[in-house]
Structure 1
Amino acid sequence: MKFILASGSERRQELLRRIVKDFDVKVSNFDEDEVIFKGDLNSYVEELAIKKGEAILENVDEDSIIISADTLVSYSNNILGKPKDKEDAFRTLKTLSGKVHKVYSGVSIYNTKTKERLTTSLCTEVKFSELEDNQIREYIESGEPLDKAGSYGIQGFGGVFVEEIKGCYYNVVGLPLNATAKLLKDIIK
């Protein structure tokens, strides 16, 4: 059975290698704007993960296990996506300064042979320490936050802002390892 990760994210690829040694990468070009947020963040990230996996099905020509995921950052039930520019990143990080926010990941695994799909989602709470404006600007100049939901990467320099975490660290990075491993075990049986 072939394994396929429906994501171009280098972080997800690196994490998946801890569970699956050999897999192909097929970047899903699913337009996330097609999924309407209806107020439930867990359902929303699960649906995004499912749709990302479905988007590559036409390019799969042998029995495969398709792994897809989506991660989002939320503060006060508002979704904080990737920043549009440096000032947007600054506003986001200033908002998160000294506060607790939530990171949600949805993971979907689809077996093309059995047509079985397993999906789950997780939420991790992350507390930032108080950030000074110069800290935020210096971090933004590193370029790291400009392609990340919530404008930071916990696995990089942004990890310095994290005072406390409740839940799965790998969920915040982009692929909850324990939950993904359990889904794979259940779908391969």
Structure 2
Amino acid sequence: MKIILASASERRTELLKRIVDEFSVIVSNFDEDSVPFKGNFGDYVIELSKGKALSVAQRVKEEALIIACDTIVAVESAVLGKPSSKEEAILMLERLSGRTHQVYSGLTVMNTKTLEVKCDHVKTDVKFSMLTKGEIRKYVESGEPMDKAGAYGIQGGGGVFVEEINGCYYNVVGLPLNRLNHILRGMGVNL
């Protein structure tokens, strides 16, 4: 059966290649703003990933397994998505400086033949060291934070800010491989 990744993320594509030999990429056109945050981070990222999977499923004619994922950074009761400006990226990084935050990813795997849908989420705790204004400005000027939830990439230059991690590293990168592998095996997909 054909496997489709419903994502524009190069990082997700790179990670999925570690467990799946062949797959296609179809970018979802799901409007993430259509899902209101109601206070539960796990439910929120699942709804986002489900929306992405459904969006792609409506455009696919053949039988396929669609994999969709959405990742957010949570600090206190706030959701930090991708920054819309350099100023917002600076504010996000200042907020994360010297504290522990959570990274949540929602996963949805949909079988278009059987209509079976499996959803789950993963949470990872990430502790940042205290950041100087200069470090933050230099990192933001690199451009790396602009397409990443929470305005940092652990696999890139933002990794130097991470003092401690408790949970799945690949979740922080954007695709929790262990949980995805578990879901796929539960759906009878032998990788």
Cα distance in structure 2, aligned partners of 1:27 and 1:64: 15
TM superposition shift of 1:59: 1.7
Q: Post-superposition, which runs of at least 4 consecutive aligned residues in structure 1 deviate over 2 A?
A: none
Q: What is the root-mean-square deviation of aligned Cα atoms in Å?
A: 0.8
**Matching residue's letter, 1:129:** S
Q: Are 2:143 and 1:138 equivalent residues in the alignment?
A: no
> How far has the Cα of 1:118 moved from its partner?
0.7
Query: In 1, Cα distance between the equivalents of 2:62 and 2:88?
Result: 43
Partner of 1:43: 43
Which digits, 9 at most, give the CA deviation of each residue in 1:13-40, with x for residues without a partner? 0000111110000000100111111111
1:22-41 to 2 correspondences below 5 Å: 22-41=22-41
CA distance in 1, matches of 2:118, 2:82: 27
Letter in 2 for 1:110: M
Q: Which amino acid aligns with 1:187?
A: M
Superposed CA deviations along residues 81-113 of structure 1, whole A, max 9, x for unmatched, are 111211111111011110000000000001111
Letter in 2 for 1:49: S
CA offsets per residue over residues 56-99 of structure 1, 9 Å max, x none? 11221111100000000010020011112111111110111100
Identity across aligned pairs (percent)? 56
In 2: Cα distance, 1:182 partner to 1:145 partner: 30
Q: Which moved more, 1:77-86 or 1:173-182?
A: 77-86
Counterpart in the other structure of 1:14: 14
**Pair 1:63 & 2:63 matched:** yes
The CA deviation string for residues 129-150 of structure 1, in whole angstroms up to 9 with x for no partner, is 0001101111111110011110
Q: How does 1:1-189 map to 2 (within 5 A)?
A: 1-188=1-188
Tell me which amino acid in the other structure corresponds to 1:83.
Answer: P
TM-score by length of 2: 0.97
SS at match of 2:58: helix
CA distance, structure 2, for counterparts of residue 32 and residue 58 of structure 1: 17
State how far apart, in whole Å, the 1-side matches of 2:166 and 2:120 are.
Answer: 18
Equivalent AA in structure 2 for residue 125 of structure 1: D
Inter-partner Cα distance in structure 1 for 2:136 and 2:61: 46
Gaps of 5+ in 1: none
Alpha-carbon distance between aligned partners in 1 of 2:131 and 2:120, rounded to the nearest angstrom? 33
State the 1:188 CA deviation.
2.4
